[in-house]
Amino acid sequence: MRNGHDTLNHYRSIQHVRIGSYLINTWYQAPYPEEYSRTDVLYICEFCLKYMKSNFVSKRHKENCCMKHPPGNEIYRDGQLSVFEVDGRKNKIYCQNLCLLAKLFLDHKTLFYDVEPFLFYILTETDNQGCHFVAYFSKEKRSKLGYNLSCIMTLPPHQRKGYGQFLIDISYLLSKNEHKVGSPEKPLSDLGLLSYTKYWKQTLMDFILENKSHLGMTTIEDISQHTSMTLDDVISTLDKQGILTKNKQGQFELMVTVDTNSGSIAMQHDDISGGSVTPMPYPKRLRAKQELLTWVPY
């Protein structure tokens, strides 16, 4: 031990991160350089995502760091919420730091340093201090398999606010602007599958309710085009709800009855929470609004 500040060296991995005003328990290990892993608390600048070992260095950095929002272009703004698009090639360090931070909360993430082939979409909450990082997702610039999202993460203090669903919505809005359909990178994590299952179900329920007057004329292809979801994802989601059948010609048909009073849809396998069997009115959700997106395909 060389001095009084080295007393934290017995830690084998990072237990907490301090970012902005939050002290957050970490969930998984991340491959930070070894000297940064041997600490209880890792300090992260909430604007440039630089990581530091000590509170002193963090404070000094805060005085000098001139960033008040993520690098790249702001592509979406709705009140306090903004989305920035960051190019992994143009802002390599930022994106590498982002991947390391994300790994603290993602189990099986493997991408950390080879960030050039990716774009990163950063969700921020704005106040008079600046645009505070709350969540992100990454996307391959050129996905051969039609993936429109690779990794997605919301910082724990901001979870359960609908930000994950919102970012998934943004990812499909981007696909829509590219005139493509898309799907998340496989394999999905447990939490990822849960989020997507919920998103797909709600998106299709919304579509059905909005188009209930002419569902007979609607094909699976129409739904796919409208939602930018792949045919496979549309079919598997509708099938899980038990509202998909094939007619004599082998074409898919929707079997739906819309309850115009409650605004809900009768489904065989709807989620039953709290033992209630009455269909729950689906919760309001944070939707990405196409008119607020200022983005052109890469």
Q: Which of 125, 185, 221, 291 is catalytic?
A: 185
Place of tokens 């505070």: 132
| Interstrand relation of 16-19 and 22-25 (parallel, antiparallel or unpaired) | antiparallel
CB of 50 to DNA, least distance (A): 5
Q: Are 119 and 86 in contact (CB under 8 A)?
A: yes
Q: Which of 35, 127, 210, 291 binds DNA (CB under 7 A)?
A: 35
Part in contact with DNA (CB under 7 A); list of ranges 45-53, 105-113, 177-185, 268-276: 45-53
- Yes or no: say if 283 and 237 are a contact pair by the CB < 8 Å rule: no
Residues 16, 61, 69, 180: which binds DNA (CB under 7 A)? 61
Among 16, 50, 198, 287, binds DNA (CB under 7 A): 50
Residues in the interface with DNA (CB under 7 A) total 18
**Which residue in the set 11, 23, 31, 56 belongs to the binding site for DNA (CB under 7 A)?**
56
Residue 52 touches DNA, criterion: CB under 7 A = yes
Find the shortest distance in angstroms from Cβ 66 to DNA.
7
Nearest to 183 by CA among 150, 137, 223: 150
Cis before 33? omega within 30: no
Residues with Cβ within 8 Å of 105's Cβ and at least 6 positions away in sequence, in order, are: 26, 27, 28, 153, 155, 156
Residues in region 89-118 near DNA by CB under 7 A? 93
By the rule CB under 7 A, 10 interacts with DNA:
no
Q: SS3 string of 228-290?
A: CECHHHHHHHHHHCCCEEECCCCCEEECCCEECCCCEECCCCCCCCCCCCCCCCCCCCCCCCH
Helices 163-177 and 190-210 sit at what angle, rounded to 10 degrees?
60
Residue 25 or 55: the one with the smaller Cβ distance to DNA is 55
Q: Rule CB under 7 A: is residue 21 a binding residue for DNA? A: no
Q: Among candidates 185, 169, 34, 52, which has minimal Cα distance to 109?
A: 185
Stated length of the chain: 298
Residue from 15, 27, 29, 57 in contact with DNA (CB under 7 A): 57
From residue 166 to residue 205, the character string flagging contacts with DNA as x (rule: CB under 7 A) and all else as - is: ----------------------------------------
Known active-site residue 291? no
Contact between 60 and DNA per CB under 7 A:
yes
Should residue 274 be labelled a site residue for DNA when binding is judged by CB under 7 A? no
> Residues in the site for DNA, rule: CB under 7 A?
2-5, 7, 35, 50, 52-57, 59-61, 64, 93
The set of catalytic residues is: 185
